Amino acid sequence: MQDNVNNKEYNDVVSEKVNGFFITEAYKTIRTNLQFAISTSEDNVAMVTSFEPNAGKSITTANIAITMGQTGARVLLIDADMRNASQHKIFNIQNNDGLSRLLSGFSKPEDAIFRKNIRPNLDLLTAGPMPPNPSELLGSKNMGKLLETLRKVYDYIFIDCPPVGVVSDALSLLSHTKNVAMIVRHKQTRHDDIRHTIDSLKALEGKLLGVVVTDVADEGALFAGKYGRYGRYGRYGRYGRYGKYGDYAASGAQKYIDASAEATGNNK
């Protein structure tokens, strides 16, 4: 019986190491593809969005930014999902100041609201308190001026944006940058929703850099054919918790973030 227990423990450890390897390699592949795509766009800023909530958008954006920083490039991650901020939760830091206050004129860049070296070569600008007009702020001249300044400081800037199928916030940002990476979730995002997102981006001259599929299982079709419901996300206030992205986090994405903190001793 003891041998069986030891074998199970050994298999569990091996399985976790193998899964961790494939997760790391997957993000490196995404990084390489994005490097090529961004290099041809003449803009080092990339928005990341999805059609619906709970697609693993925010945690995937965080991991992409971490992986890009591992190349030695200077990277900034901006949480522009001001209605439902997630990056401060992922990195376990405060969100009492951030993008919303910066764009509203209540804070200034020199007020040290940027979280420096949250991971190696990675800075973070949290979303800040939820404002009454997030879409207007993202499309404002202040946002344009901010990105114009930050482009000169960072090699890559990744912006975590709200889902396109819920609110228009991400589309408002297209007036300042055209690069978009789309997150879709296996067996949740529908083909029609992907097409709707692409059409919305094209209508505003957005450039789709690529699509990242999250939570992919080995079996079954790539996308669900008939997912008529997503569980009442029509009111954006209810989209609030992102609690259901736990399945995706458990598959390794959150462990990737945690491991990067432990490896550098930067576990804030």
Q: What is the pTM of this model?
A: 0.77
Is the CB of residue 118 less than 8 Å from the CB of residue 91? yes
- Give me the residue label for tokens 């709970």: 54
Q: Which domains does the chain have, with CATH numbers?
A: 2-264 (3.40.50.300)
| pLDDT (tens place) for every residue of the chain, 268 residues total | 444 444 444 333 333 444 566 778 888 888 999 999 998 888 999 999 998 888 889 999 999 999 999 999 999 999 999 999 999 999 999 998 899 999 998 987 777 689 999 999 999 999 999 999 999 999 999 999 999 999 999 999 999 999 988 888 889 999 999 999 999 988 888 889 888 888 888 889 989 998 888 887 644 444 433 332 222 222 233 333 333 333 333 344 555 555 555 544 555 4
Rounded to 10 deg, the angle between the 57-69 and 2-39 helix axes is 80
The CA distances from residue 244 to 21, 53, 75, 79, 211, in Å, are 25, 9, 28, 19, 21
pLDDT at 168: 82
Q: Return d(Cα 128, Cα 80) in angstroms, integer.
A: 9
Tell me the residue ranges of DSSP E strands in the chain. 45-50, 75-79, 115-119, 122-125, 156-160, 179-185, 207-214
- pLDDT at 233 (0 to 100): 27
